[in-house]
A and B are shown apart, each in its own frame.
Chain A
Amino acid sequence: MKEISGAQILLEVLQEQGVEVIFGYPGGAVINLYDHLPEYSCRHFLVRHEQAAVHAADGYARATGKTGVALVTSGPGATNTVTGLATASMDSIPMVVFTGQVPTPLIGNDAFQEADIVGITRPCTKHNFLVKRVEDLERIINEAFHIAGSGRPGPVLVDLPKDVIAGKCRKRKVAKTSLKGYNPNYTGHPGQIQRAVKVILKARKPVFYVGGGVVLADAAAKLTALARALKIPVTTTLMGLGAFPEDDQLSLGMLGMHGTYRANMAVTESDVLVAFGARFDDRVTGRIDTFAADAKIIHVDIDPTSISKNVDVDIPIVGDVGDVLDKMLELIEGSARETETAAGGHDEWLSEVEHWRNLHKLSYEQNEIIKPQFVVEKIGELTQDDNPIVSTEVGQNQMWAAQFFTFTKPRSWLTSGGLGTMGYGLPAAMGAQVAFPERLVIDIAGDGSIQMNSQELATVVQYNLPVKVIILNNGYLGMVRQWQELFFNKHYSSTTMNHAPDFVKLAEAYGALGLRATKPDEVEPVLKQAFTHPGPVVVDIVVAAEENVYPMVPAGEAISNMLLV
């Protein structure tokens, strides 16, 4: 076998890994790689900012379940990936990011466009590598993909010094990747699972609390089957939306700070709380000592560090949530009579939940000014047969989307849950649209967030990615303004966005279609036009300026303590 360059080795390994799409931005340190790129089958999408490359790879990964790939240059190219990596890290998204680096002899010399990106990204990646010799390149890339996609997934960064990708060696098909210190446990302990099922079968007021782990493990169908067999109500976290169909009677909707009244009440009153692939985040639990205080807690998670981190767990089960659900389903099938009795015994509990549902529904009043909730509901109504993918920015737009859109399928919801990254939605939508060119992909945005990565309109126009950006334009950084209204005597310090661009003209300047609605009866026609337009669209919807997201649990309070209007 003849010697080939590091650049070629990298591109061949990507091909072997089944990588079809790279989001990237070239620069001096990766020019050798870009030189060879056209010889390979991977499609490269040129973004307009490296942060967007990482979010696009993230959106692609969330929508497909595959590992997303981004490629950037050294120095500023590399540092621009940090927000994207931290976003993916907090939400456990599989991704490999390649960064250029100055040649190895120059490392540490403060060379032009040098950054210690491995040092910088250590805390916001699952793992990272600096490749020092071209001979190690193939093994390291394979390890990177192995680490990113297995166990609790996460982003991995591979730093590539210019002399390593220019250097030559023989490529050999590396044997199966194995790492001494990394061996995630997929199989749930049968004894623990048995104990858990016993407790679940005896519960009078059980609740399933479902997180993003169920989506990541592609276990939504199993979870749904278990909940339905036992008639147990299900609440999902922001990350878990889509893991259980929200049009099912058993759905409680989202829980936590902006959760539904019935979800927060049900969790508070539950006697058994089963967490599947969720991590008891502070936005979910509120004041921790009051969270499901009377419940036995069963926690299923692939990451042992998630268990008993924030709350004490009665029955921990470390393993792949899909494997654990399989075993639970097997056990309840094996004890059909007990299952039936348990399911039948939940009627009283379900009617209590129904009472909470009717007591305080998610609601808003639509008058002569467009309400943002109305827009989200309309989006849902107009697209219910289209199986759309919805991304969001961060803030009020994100919460209204989470509350008023009815999620029925996993991997159709792209939102930055853990890190809360404004500017995530458009590039993430772009990534999902690349994966699914035929599907409707909608970014529900705010007038603040969209400006954090609006340069990507150029990318979506260039590649004709027909993403629909729906801006809920209230002229404020709405969520911060809401906090200022409620907790800081309406002191709207630096939250007024009265110098935004004309978003219709902005869209047109990039070559996209720009539309606007200012009255309630314009919303439907404008959305219809947007959804049927073959290319990318920006819809500027002027909504009520000081509308708030309710319910709201003030930070640090018990989740049963909700502000309702």
Chain B
Amino acid sequence: MKHVISVLVENEFGVLSRIASLFSGRGFNIESLTVAETEDKTISSMTIVTRGDDNIIEQITKQLNKLINVIKVVELTESVQMAREMVLLKFAVNSGPKRLELLRLVEVYHGRVLELGARSLIVELTGERAKIEAALDVLAPFAIKDMSRTGMVALARDSHKN
């Protein structure tokens, strides 16, 4: 099962490496990991997407908590998380009907065109992971030349219907 773990850490050098080596040393998976400063410059926020059964996730959470530089660990279940991912895509398409079709599809997924060149264009897509995956499936036939994904960022919702 996929799990999303949000981790607040002290914004110090080496913290990312502590987390990464915890995962590799204990044989846990990292599917994606994002990290950036929070509004408090001394604290960074990480969103880690990982896989494992309940026991493994419990161990991951406890082991993260055990690290001295980790301030808070929250497992975000799907019902309480607000999660987004971004992908930048570069297509090699000349102007013509193929390009028009591509632009239409990009619009369907609420994407934005960031750069429009004679032989290529760069598109930004943002959304939940499922939407990104679906978009990538649909856009795959258009010869994606290059791609960069952010991995997931997530926050806990304050209120949610259950």
Contact = CB atoms under 8 A, between A and B. Distances in A.
Asked if A pairs with B, the answer is yes
B62 A304 contact: yes
B143 interface: no
A123 B55 CA distance: 22
Nearest to A151: B66
A356 to B, nearest CB: 33
A179 B62 contact: no
A122 interface: yes
Contacts of B126: none
B10 A305 contact: no
A127 interface: yes
A298 to B, nearest CB: 18
A141 to B, nearest CB: 15
Interface stretch (B13-21, B75-83, B149-157): B13-21
A304 B65 contact: yes
A343 interface: no
Contact of A181 (B21, B59, B63, B69): B69
Given A304-B65, A305-B62, A308-B58, A180 B21 contact: no
A565 B21 CA distance: 43
A171 B22 CA distance: 35
B10 A181 contact: yes
Given A118-B14, A303-B66, A308-B58, A123 B21 contact: yes
Nearest to A143: B68
Interface string A424-437: 00000000000000
Contacts of A122: 14, 17-18, 21
Contacts of A127: 68
A119 interface: yes
A147 B21 CA distance: 20
Contacts of B62: 304-305
B106 to A, nearest CB: 43
Contacts of B14: 118-119, 122, 130
Contact of B70 (A130, A147, A181, A303): A181
A303 B67 CA distance: 12
B59 A305 contact: yes
A305 B21 contact: no
B13 to A, nearest CB: 8
Given A122-B18, A123-B25, A181-B9, A309 B68 contact: no
A450 B83 CA distance: 58
A126 B70 CA distance: 13
B63 A305 contact: yes
A308 B55 contact: yes
B122 interface: no
- Scoring A123, A127, A180 by chain B CB atoms within 10 A of each residue's CB, the highest score goes to A180
Interface in A284-312: 303-305, 308-309
B136 interface: no
A538 B21 CA distance: 43
B88 interface: no
Contact of A309 (B13, B22, B59, B65): B59
B63 to A, nearest CB: 5
A308 B59 CA distance: 8
Interface string A304-345: 110011000000000000000000000000000000000000
A433 B65 CA distance: 37
Contacts of B102: none
A304 B68 CA distance: 14
Interface string A131-148: 000000000000000010
Interface in B26-40: none
B59 A147 contact: no
A122 B65 CA distance: 16
A180 B71 contact: yes
A182 interface: yes
A430 to B, nearest CB: 30
Nearest to B58: A308
Nearest to A182: B68
A338 B72 CA distance: 43
B62 to A, nearest CB: 4
A156 to B, nearest CB: 9
Interface string B43-87: 000000000000100110011011111111000000000000000
Nearest to A306: B62
Interface in B104-160: none
B10 A180 contact: yes
Contacts of B17: 119, 122
Contact of B71 (A123, A181, A309): A181
Nearest to B15: A181
B54 to A, nearest CB: 10
B126 to A, nearest CB: 31
Interface string A194-222: 00000000000000000000000000000
A118 B18 CA distance: 10
A504 to B, nearest CB: 44
Given A119-B17, A122-B18, A181-B9, 18 more contacts: A118-B14, A122-B14, A123-B22, A126-B68, A127-B68, A147-B68, A179-B68, A180-B10, A181-B68, A181-B70, A181-B71, A182-B68, A303-B66, A304-B66, A305-B59, A305-B63, A308-B58, A309-B59
18 contacts: A118-B14, A122-B17, A122-B21, A123-B22, A126-B68, A130-B13, A147-B68, A179-B68, A180-B10, A181-B10, A181-B68, A181-B69, A303-B66, A305-B59, A305-B62, A305-B63, A305-B66, A308-B58
Interface of B: 9-10, 13-14, 17-18, 21-22, 25, 55, 58-59, 62-63, 65-72
Interface of A: 118-119, 122-123, 126-127, 130, 147, 179-182, 303-305, 308-309
